[in-house]
Amino acid sequence: MLETNVYNFVLIPLAILISYAIWSRLRKPLEYRQISSHVPSVTKNLWSELLFSCSIAMKHPRDLLPFFMEIFLNNGPVVHCNITGRSYVLLNDPDDIKILLSSTQYINKGPEYKMLKPWLNDGLLLSSGLKWQNRRKLLTNTFHFKTLDMYNPAVNKHAKVFTKKLLEACEDDKEISVMEYVTLCSLDIICETIMGTEMNAQKGKSIQYVYSIKSACRSVIDRVFKFWLWNDLIYRISESGRSFFKSIRVLHDFTDSVCILKNVIKRKQSLLKTSGNTIVQPESKPAEKRKTKSFLDLLLDVLKDNPDQMTIKDIREEVDTFLFEGHDTSSISMTMTLLLLGMHQDIQDRAREELHSIFGDSDRDATMEDLNAMRYLDAVIKESLRLYPSVPSFTRELETTLQLENYKIPPMTTMVIFPYILHRNENIFPKPEDFIPERFLDEDNKSKFLFGYIPFSAGARNCIGQKYAMNQMKTVVSTVLRNAKIVSSGCKEDIKISMQLLIRIESLPKVIFRPLYKRTSAEMIEVNFYSVVLVPLAGLISYAIWSRLRMPVEYRQISSHVPSVTKSFWSEMVLSWKLAMLQPKDILPFVTDLFKENGPVVHFNLSGRSYVLLNDPDDLKVLLSNTQYIKKGPEYEMLKPWLNEGLLLSSGQKWHNRRKLLTNTFHFKTLDMYNPSINKHSRILVDKLFEASANDDKEISIAEYVTLCSLDIICETIMGTEMNAQKGKSAEYVHSIKSACKSVIERIFKFWLWNDLVFRMSGSGQSFFKSIKILHEYTDNVIKSKRASLNNSGIEKIRSDSKFEKTKKKSFLDLLLNVLNDTPDQMSDRDIREEVDTFLFEGHDTSSIAMTMILVLLGMHPEIQDRARDELRSIFGYSTRDATMEDLNAMKYLEAVIKESLRMYPSVPAFTRELDKPLQLNKYIIPPMTTITVYPFILHRNEDIYPDAEEFIPERFLDEENKAKFIFGYLPFSAGARNCIGQKYAMNQMKIVVSTILRNAKFESLGRKEDIQISTQLIIRIESLPKMKFYKL
């Protein structure tokens, strides 16, 4: 019996293997059989092929990736092997991978994918040729960025359920295996967004489905590497095959049902007929106003409009495909991201700080704009996907010859790529086993990563849902980070994975999720109500009473003769509380309503402080043209820990002396020295915009690119040092500026944060002081370095205007150091730091916002864009030379465009002056100790000054008759003695950057003006902005 078993189970399969291998070799063309003679091969003869086939068939899935890594290590980045008559070439070189994936000739999947057909049929993953091309084109709109926006509510909802489940499971610091929780969350998300049906997997309703997916994947990988299972009949009768077909029956039943898919389809089709819905056209109207649709809804829309291109069977194929690809890949990626964050507390803290700068303490849902702002978290997820790509390998079958860098590969060969191994290439990723998200913030790495980083594949057959997947991962991971601290009890070496269709986790360290804020018991609720509501309210009332009593009588009686919204003590309390509760995005509409209801002069008391809002150009002229009223309002004191007493915050004699000293640093001939730097970084911005457009379906969020360009310009012209922000070297600095601004505006409107001690103890205050520490360290290091270099080389002095032409290009910091050298009694090292900090803040952030809005508005008005480009053509012709000062002066129409954009979206939405003396307005006398507030954003929408105020009409700034109206009715740079000293510098910068883009690109905005959402902080912040497309001219 034993002898018979040996005969049956060893000799017969071996004989079949030998026969099949010989037959397979003989029926192939000669060049196919001779491939092992010119490509490094591990199967040069029939015997080695048989040994290799048996060896790989016997391996456990967890041993496959180390096995293939060893093959590359021993043979180089291109390796051939035969497995039972099939020819494979393994690739691990980015240049060769680029040749393969960037060509549309090689889009056929390898023969292994046919093993998935009983499950996924001819869905997008498995189809090929014309069917694949038509299907890909049809499905592209279902993943348009505005369509993706519709999925966000469902993703946010299940992310919150997921976070709650984690915290419940980890009560009393209990360790948990996170994988199961993530899988169920991902399944809930994919079912609601793909099927439009609630699965309730996180409530225990989907165990059989999850098990069936895992079982089917294991059966397929079993079949891929066990050659005897390639035969359909043998596979069907094998244990692995029986398990596979049993599993896919469960999966198909689920797809057909999810409360019976056929009934769902019929119901949805009838609803579509009765409601007259049509296919979603993402450009047609803002996503917010459209009804939420699932992927299945969108497919049914396609079926309704294109019945000849999509059938019910096709829909089932695609739903099966996206359920499998969408849920399992994302769950693995999110699991590994959370685990790695738990192992690296410093990275976790930095990601959480970024989220705090975006959301503050709000628990609102993440929007598309929020997701786009998560640059560091994006890098974290990308680094996690590098280390653990969900799909460890994929294949392409050649129909035509493939010419690699060093080898020619014949048709009928299957090319195999292992992202898991490629992502560990030391030439692309130094220290490849380390978790370093910063490598994805460095712009210098982008070209290396193009075909060296392929977690979503690349080229024509890249993952159609990669943006959907990234949004889902960002939403889920950010929700967890905003509510919990993650602690992993193991290290990276404890992670054990195996290679199946997807990476499968064999062993993982356990994780603890600790709540950041505990609000559980009734006692805590009671204490919170007392501390959060009653204590501040009592403090507000006491402070307001005390403030009123200590003021002069005329100060207390101002509400009797000036239109006021706080005529009584109670109305003051209500307004103070209401303003404190407003979101930054609601402040400008709130103040606009105040002017509409009360006129152009409005008074109110805010927690004991008296404010008068002005919106009349004649009254503004009285205020701003008088040197008696140059003292900044009390809100500016909140900036002192950051900017100290630089030009923005100083007053009195110090301000007069400092303004006089600094005027020469913005002399028109000095400004000419800054132009080469501005031109250089403008060109880099253009390259970055084209590069980003090419890599992201030509739809990009522009604000981030403009911000980094502006930062590069301001650092080189102000500091005389290259920041390389556009190459990813400034993430921490940019994050710190935004975080500091958010903290300050929060403090301005939340009266309980006016106290220095309370602010320092608050979360907002801690974030502020942490941010300014980073900003000060950066400034100090650059100044120290610049001092040392100047001391070594000798400071070159600028002694008169006549010498400007002959001087070497200097930065603002160089000029300040010259002032220090010539007049040490008027300028100290501390003074220099104050001014550099001030101009870095004021110069970079204001300009970047202004340039962003100019480009967006030009993208919405092609006729204005064309006219501006025609003007530039008349100045430059077709030359690519830099813009000179003479060129800038000739850009009359572009200047009008910039001014009109600044009218609609002034970078500084409001500023204040504190009165030391009475102010006589046209109709009212305002007593001392009152803070006057001016809102350029609202003033610029005054219909008496600007007819059709919401329309973008640059021509109004070309009409000489308007100039008189605009003197104190147009204040993007303030006006009078304390106007912006750098406004000419800013205009030059904006002209150079915008003109450089216009000379090289045509662009469009994918939205309307109504899609622009802004909020009030120290400067305008962009909450939501249409994406843009850039086309090379």
Instruction: Give the β-pairing of 609-614 and 931-934.
Output: parallel
CA dist., res. 13 & res. 357, Å (int): 64
DSSP for residue 972: B
| Whether the Cβ atoms of residue 97 and residue 88 lie closer than 8 Å to each other | no
Rounded to 5 degrees, what angle do the CA atoms 281, 285, 291 make?
Answer: 80
To the nearest 10°, the Cα dihedral for 123, 124, 126, 130? 110
Chain length of the chain: 1033
CA distance 581 to 532: 12
The phi-psi region of residue 849 (left if phi > 0; otherwise alpha if psi is between -120 and 50; otherwise beta) is alpha
Interhelix angle 178-190/466-483, rounded to 10 degrees, is: 130
What φ, ψ does residue 499 adopt, rounded to 5°? Answer: -100, 115
What burial letters (b/e) apply to 604-615, b meaning 16+ CB within 10 Å?
bbbbbbbbbbbb
**Tokens found for residue 366:** 């993440």
Annotated binding site for heme: 980
Please name the residues in contact with 315: beta carbons below 8 A apart, sequence gap of 6 or more: 265, 296, 299, 300, 303
Q: Where are the alpha helices (DSSP H) in 823-972?
A: 829-860, 862-876, 885-890, 892-904, 936-939, 963-966
Residues in a beta bridge with 895: none
Burial class (CB in 10 A: 0-12, 13-18, 19+), 631: middle
- Hey, CA dihedral for 55, 59, 63, 69, is it positive or negative? positive
Core vs surface per residue 648-661: b (16+ CB within 10 A) or e: bbbeeeebeebeeb
Show the tokens assigned to 941: 């929408």
310, 299 Cβ separation under 8 angstroms: yes
| Joined tokens for residue 381 | 């997820």
Binding residues: 980
- Angle at CA 129, nearest 5°, toward 125 and 132? 40
Question: DSSP secondary-structure letter at 568?
Answer: S
Phi then psi for residue 606, to 5 deg, are -125, 105
Rounded Cα–Cα distance for residues 205 and 197 (Å):
13
Rounded to whole angstroms, the Cα distance separating 474 from 466 reads 12
Cβ atoms < 10 Å from Cβ of 799: 9
Beta bridge mates, 428 = none
Structure tokens at 702: 């522009």
Q: How many CB atoms lie within 10 A of CB 95?
A: 13
Nearest-10 crossing angle of helices 261-275, 312-343: 110
* Measured distance CA(465)–CA(375) in Å, rounded: 20
E strand or H helix at 90: strand 86-91
Residue 879 CA to residue 861 CA, distance in Å, equals 25
Quote the CA–CA distance of 208 and 213 in Å, as a whole number: 9
Contacts 24+ apart (CB under 8 A), 785-788: 785/721, 786/719, 786/720, 786/721, 786/811, 786/813, 786/814, 786/817, 787/817
